[in-house]
Amino acid sequence: MAAISFNHVLKQYVTGKSSVQVIHDLCAEVADGEFVVIVGPSGCGKSTLLRMVAGLELITAGEISIAGKVVNDLEPAERDIAMVFQNYALYPHMTVFDNMAYGLKIARVPKDEIRARVEKAAGILELMPYLDRKPRALSGGQRQRVAMGRAIVRQPKVFLFDEPLSNLDAKLRAQTRLEIQKLHRELGITSLFVTHDQVEAMTLANRMIVLNGGVMEQFGTPEEVYNRPATTFVASFIGSPPMNLLREAPGGRAGAILGIRPEHLDVAAEGWSLQVDGIELLGAERLLYCRMGAETLIVRLHEDQPVPAIGATIHAIPRDDKLHFFDAASGKRIP
């Protein structure tokens, strides 16, 4: 196991006389055994950051350390990491056992130890019945577990996951998230997990790095990021549906953006006057899409609350202890 340190890390691509900065002066400390999720929209630099840890991308400036050792100039094989990719990258002509054992065979690990490691990983991942099958005889979720098993048998200091669940359907994603949580509890290996899915980030992370355009907007626990977003970007990206951000709300501060999550607006006989423009039914809850003057906002209703008609006017009271304020110019949180 090993801690990971990002010390003023910068990544820049230069083409001719022009350059594009992908990662901006990132500093963060990942604790030994911690599961950290790097989350953000497509193109924000999260996979690039992971690939720099892996040694697949050069670092333009700054330092990355693993277990106290600067790895900037080390080859990927020298970093003692194992990576699980979005595509499973399994050898179709090999059995599950041989796919999981291949890296150990190349490293000339003794046969008895290879079998012991593969069977231990297969037991953790519930793959024992499938060790003699070829990948084509497996479901997508089982193939992803084989890819994770191949990483586990190497017994690395660090696991790197690059959007490993994005090829799975919703049910399999939820199931595999639980398996990854169980895996981390059992092995306790320091892990970095890249995703654009904020639900994955919230459910998997001990802490999460929220990236936006290569800038780390916030680094904190899921609870901290959800309950005290550091910027308007974090407030709008984390949460489904996102936080309402209002520039002209009643009771707001001059020159500030007021934030309120949809579940913290209580429908009442008085309060803000809202016109209902749309309704989304989500089983046990309803989302009301409303207008208040020039502002648009969402109100979350529970299943036992009456649902108004589209076009109706309702009133809602924001909970005072759940209000957030952000600087209108910088987007940063105002204490």
CATH at residue 56? 3.40.50.300
Do 253 and 128 fall into the same domain?
no
Is there a domain that residue 334 lies in? no
Query: For 99, phi and psi rounded to 5 degrees?
Result: -60, -45
Is there a domain that residue 120 lies in? yes
Name the one residue in this structure whose structure tokens are 């005072």.
Answer: 320
Query: For 138, phi and psi rounded to 5 degrees?
Result: -115, 155
Do 14 and 140 fall into the same domain?
yes
Task: Tell me the two tokens of residue 292.
Answer: 């208040």
CB-CB contact of 183 with 204 (8 Å): no
∠ Cα 45 189 128 (to 5°): 110
Count of the separate structural domains present in the chain = 2
The reply to whether the predicted model has a pTM over 0.85 is: yes
Is there a domain that residue 199 lies in? yes
Please state whether 283 falls in left (phi above 0), alpha (psi between -120 and 50) or beta: left
Task: Tell me the two tokens of residue 249.
Answer: 């709300």
| Distant-in-sequence, close-in-space partners of 281: CB < 8 Å, separation ≥ 6 | none
CB-CB contact of 48 with 40 (8 Å): no
Q: Point out the domain boundary residue: 233, 265, 287.
A: 233
pLDDT of residue 1: 61
Q: Point out the domain boundary residue: 201, 233, 265.
A: 233
Is there a domain that residue 277 lies in? yes
For the chain, give the longest Cα–Cα distance: 74
Do 248 and 226 fall into the same domain?
no
CB-CB contact of 221 with 231 (8 Å): no
Is there a domain that residue 333 lies in? no
Domain around 127: 4-233
Do 206 and 266 fall into the same domain?
no
Is there a domain that residue 238 lies in? no
Peptide bond into 241 cis (omega under 30): yes
Do 204 and 296 fall into the same domain?
no
Do 227 and 281 fall into the same domain?
no
Do 297 and 194 fall into the same domain?
no
Do 32 and 170 fall into the same domain?
yes
Neighbours of 88 (CB within 10 A): 20
Do 138 and 206 fall into the same domain?
yes
How many helices (DSSP H) and strands (DSSP E) are in the chain? Answer: 8, 18
The rounded distance, in Å, linking the Cα atoms of 69 and 75 is 13
CB-CB contact of 126 with 182 (8 Å): no
Q: What is the dihedral sign for C-alpha 118, 124, 126, 129?
A: positive
Question: Would you give per-residue pLDDT tens digits along the chain (335 residues)?
Answer: 689 999 999 999 988 888 899 999 999 999 999 999 999 999 999 999 999 999 999 999 999 999 999 999 999 989 999 998 878 788 999 999 999 999 899 889 999 999 999 999 998 888 999 999 999 999 888 888 898 898 889 889 999 999 988 877 888 888 888 888 988 998 899 999 999 998 899 999 999 999 999 999 999 999 999 999 999 999 999 998 999 999 987 877 778 999 999 999 999 999 999 999 999 998 889 999 999 999 999 999 988 889 999 999 999 999 999 999 999 999 999 98
Whose CA is closest to 34, among 189, 180, 196? 189
Do 103 and 147 fall into the same domain?
yes
Whose CA is closest to 25, among 68, 49, 61? 61
Do 53 and 100 fall into the same domain?
yes
Neighbours of 110 (CB within 10 A): 9
Q: Is 151 helix (H, G, I), strand (E, B) or coil?
A: helix
Is there a domain that residue 332 lies in? no
User: CATH number, domain at 283?
Assistant: 2.40.50.140
Partnered with residue 299 across adjacent β-strands are 288
Whose CA is closest to 219, among 22, 4, 37? 37
Is there a domain that residue 160 lies in? yes
Do 135 and 265 fall into the same domain?
no
Q: Point out the domain boundary residue: 233, 259, 280.
A: 233
